[in-house]
Amino acid sequence: MARARRLALAMLAAACGCASSSGHAPVARIAFGDCRAAAPPSSFYVPLGDGYRTDVPLDGSCSDDPLDDPTGAMPLAFHFAIDDPAPQVTSGSLDGARVTVRVAGSRPTAVRLTVTNLAGAAGSAAASIGVTLSVDAGP
């Protein structure tokens, strides 16, 4: 998988005429929702026992490679890892900058974004999808 990702990055670099970077790790950033919003949410919660019903939007498109590519001309490769028994992708891709997933909601779910530049250097960021308890109003 990593070899295929490096090959895809090399092909993208050749196609765009970009020079290879010197190998500093890019900076990975995860936002829930649109990372370019004025105040993107820093957390996201699904109901305990949600059962894959709530869409969780993940956005890594604000990740960058400020040392090797301050203008953002070179492509980055993205990979989201979701610590859930069977995460469901409802839009996008786990190997894209943006993805919407659903999780079981049986516990907090760890999310890790790994961003790789053309030289193969990688940076990562972590976030957690929390769970909320419903409050029974009672009689």
CA-only gyration radius of the chain, Å: 17
Token pair recorded at residue 50:
């949600």
CB 122 within 8 A of CB 116: yes
Task: Find the distance separating the first CA and the last CA of the chain, reported in whole Å.
Answer: 55
Give residue 114's pLDDT band: very low, low, confident or very high (50, 70, 90): very high
Q: Where are the domains of the chain?
A: 2-132
CB 111 within 8 A of CB 30: yes
Q: Which amino acid is at 60?
A: G
**In the predicted model, is pLDDT for residue 18 greater than 80?**
no
Model pLDDT, residue 117 = 95
Which has the higher per-residue pLDDT, 34 or 21?
Answer: 34
**In the predicted model, is pLDDT for residue 93 greater than 70?**
yes
Residues composing the chain: 139
The model carries a pTM of 0.80
| Class for the domain spanning 2-132 | mainly beta
Which 3 state secondary structure label does DSSP give 9?
Answer: helix
Query: For the segment 30-65, what is each residue's pLDDT rounded down to a tens digit?
Result: 999 999 998 888 889 999 999 999 999 999 999 999
